[in-house]
Amino acid sequence: MLIKTAPARIKAAGKADGLGDGEFEAIVSVFGNVDSYGDVVMPGAFVDVLDEWKAKGDPIPVIWSHNWYDPFAHIGTVMEAKETDLGLWVKGLVDLDPEARTAAQVYRLLKGRRVTQFSFAYDIADASWAERDGQDVYELRKFGALYEVGPCLVGANQETELIAAKARQLAAGVKEGRVLAQAHLDRLKSAHTALGEVITAAETSDPKSGSGTATRTAGQPADPTNDDPAAPGKSSAASDRSRSAQAAARLQLMTLTEGDSQ
């Protein structure tokens, strides 16, 4: 599972914008835009996954900042979703039940434009390298799954700084004699493994790493019959592994909270 975050282009939220209480509209993914990872979401990428959600008859969850571990972070549902010329448009409903304190606060943040980014969790079904204006980009042409969408305060490209700060804080605590909870240790081990896969995949696909492999020219088709590890197409697979491993490491580290320590 991967995560992508972008400025949300929140078009409306609440009665002042002609909507009902708790309702919002937003473009949560923009087509044709090269993001900080060098990814480009292509028109048509969401068609199949939206059809799958419709066939199931279940609403797409709206989750605050991908916090799957907190039931109160499940703040609402997507009422409508469709592709437009701009990107993926959604109309959502935030739960305003008095007991849903997180949802009510997030809704206030949306209406006040104090939160202006949205993110979604996904799997890739079809993607490949291409070239735009002399720049290598990774075109996401079809998603294999769309797990959830939701507002978030900080974009994915900024998460690494928060993770690094958290890791330093945990390390300092251990040196001072503090004992980490077993759940923390398990997540750290998983993140360590995932980060090792990132390094391995990067060295495999980077010709400057000294590993003897070569990257595939942007837009060059893969040759599945070629067993040469330096052959075209091998670096694309390595890149996919690297992206998946990065996402796994990020999710593991993001779940480290001070409240879990003991």
Segment 193-202, tens digit of pLDDT: 766 776 776 6
Q: Quick one: which of 219, 80, 197 has its CA closest to 141? A: 219
Residue 21 shares a structural domain with residue 114:
yes
Q: What's the start-to-end Cα distance of the chain, in Å?
A: 30
Residue 28 shares a structural domain with residue 149:
yes
Give the residue from 96, 130, 153 where a domain finishes: 153
Strand partners, 148: 121
Residue 77 shares a structural domain with residue 204:
no
Residue 232 shares a structural domain with residue 108:
no
Q: Whole-model pTM above 0.75?
A: no
Residue 67 shares a structural domain with residue 122:
yes
Domain extent at residue 223: 159-260
d(CA 153, CA 159): 10
Structural domain total, the chain: 2
Residue 120 shares a structural domain with residue 19:
yes
Residue 94 shares a structural domain with residue 31:
yes
The average pLDDT across 234-244 equals 54
pLDDT digits 0-9 by tens, 60-115? 999 998 888 899 999 999 999 999 998 999 999 999 898 899 999 999 988 888 88
pLDDT digits 0-9 by tens, 250-259? 555 555 443 4
Residues 6+ apart with CB under 8 A from 215: 205, 206, 207, 235
Q: Dig out the tokens for 133 from the structure.
A: 């204006």
> What is the CB neighbour count within 10 angstroms for residue 129?
20
d(CA 198, CA 189): 14
Identify the burial level of 255 via C-beta atoms within 10 angstroms of its C-beta, where 0-12 means exposed, 13-18 middle and 19 or more buried.
middle
Give the residue from 126, 153, 180 where a domain finishes: 153
Residue 116 shares a structural domain with residue 222:
no
Full DSSP string of 76-87:
EEEEEEEE-SSE
The average pLDDT across 155-183 equals 59
